[in-house]
């Protein structure tokens, strides 16, 4: 229950091209818990539409980095994105380079 404390989650993003990372795009996937048995989609996403799919009408958020990060596809660092939602509704976002670890995702953590 989000009301029990702050919520945080983190993931590592691996670059798909060499260059500089200036922004991180954010979106939300809502699990509606309906399941495939209902014959309807059980997830509502604010993310970009699939290739050749109709736009969803939702916009993604862009988080600009104070200093661009140099990224390389092979052997370079991944980008770690950590989000923390406080009890006051404020979202804190931390973006930093990390050693590549295969794109592992951490589990959500709740803090009291």
Q: Between these two residues, 92 and 75, which has the higher pLDDT value?
A: 92
DSSP 102: S
Q: 């660092």: which residue's tokens?
A: 77
Cβ–Cβ under 8 Å, residues 85 and 7: yes
Mean pLDDT taken over the chain: 75
**Which domain range does residue 91 map to?**
2-111
Residue 25 has pLDDT above 80, yes or no: yes
Per DSSP, the three-state class of 37 is: helix
Strands of 1-112, DSSP E: 6-13, 19-26, 29-31, 43-45, 61-71, 78-85, 91-98, 109-111
Per DSSP, the three-state class of 88 is: coil
Residue 109 has pLDDT above 60, yes or no: no
The 10s digit of each residue's pLDDT in 32-79 is 777 666 666 677 788 888 888 887 778 888 888 888 888 888 866 678
Number of domains in the chain: 1
């Amino acid at each position: 229950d989000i009301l029990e404390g702050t919520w945080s989650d983190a993931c590592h993003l691996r670059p798909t091209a060499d260059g500089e990372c200036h922004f991180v795009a954010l979106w939300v996937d809502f699990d509606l818990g309906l399941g495939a048995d209902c014959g309807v989609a059980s997830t509502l996403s604010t993310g970009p539409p699939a290739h050749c799919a109709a736009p969803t009408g939702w916009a993604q958020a862009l988080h600009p980095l104070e200093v661009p990060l140099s990224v390389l596809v092979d052997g370079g660092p991944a980008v770690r994105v950590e989000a923390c939602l406080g009890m006051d509704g404020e979202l804190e976002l931390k973006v930093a380079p990390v050693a590549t670890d295969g794109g592992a995702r951490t589990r959500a953590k709740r803090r009291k």
